[in-house]
Chain A
């Protein structure tokens, strides 16, 4: 091991229990998991969740943590939001079968790059596609929880109004969290009274709802691979330096 590398304790699997679930959309739910030995995390980090079948077969998936640690009846809890993946091995179980009080194995926090530190002072641009909103919401919640005054802009692309995760909370925060702007792009169906047609995110959206490069914002882009590729290319084309654009792509992207 090279000098200068901090020694790290192994990140162990531990048993979490379901305290509560909240339906966010027809296909996404937030699970509140009690984790007795949770070491804390930064906004943007994720956990691995592992299921073991009676025959010993195991399947694990990564889920973004949706917000700060919350107090549960028996100790600290973390919230993860799970989007149902059609034919998935893990998400249908977590949404349809997994019951209150039951154990599940988790490990974390994981990920040391796609994180926002509340002591940062640069303006923040968040661009999320679909369930890519989850780690961005963790940043929005942490901003308020820590009293940060850093201006945030969220641009959130969804297929239809029914697919908006955290919709009520985002409306409330856009009103109450001073310095937070929220804008939407609808790709299939827009709400009534929406000006403009449904469309995929494009240059005009990113230019209108993002910070100009002169302000040297920190930008976080999260969503399906094609979405992230498109948005990151647009940001670079608008003059944002690559090193200021942090991305997290869902799905096989190797």
Chain B
């Protein structure tokens, strides 16, 4: 079953407290822009890991590719 951008958005926002996600994609390749207070103080690698961790082994499998851009909430305020 292929994934949808809506599913990814819902799961990211449910898993990362206070986050907002914008997700686009074709069912296999996705782009996610995620803003969350939890990113504050983390380097980019750790921020992206938080997002990848939402999907575990689905990344590379059911979710073929997930491009991520992260912002801390304060950067966008």
Q: Do A and B come from one complex?
A: no
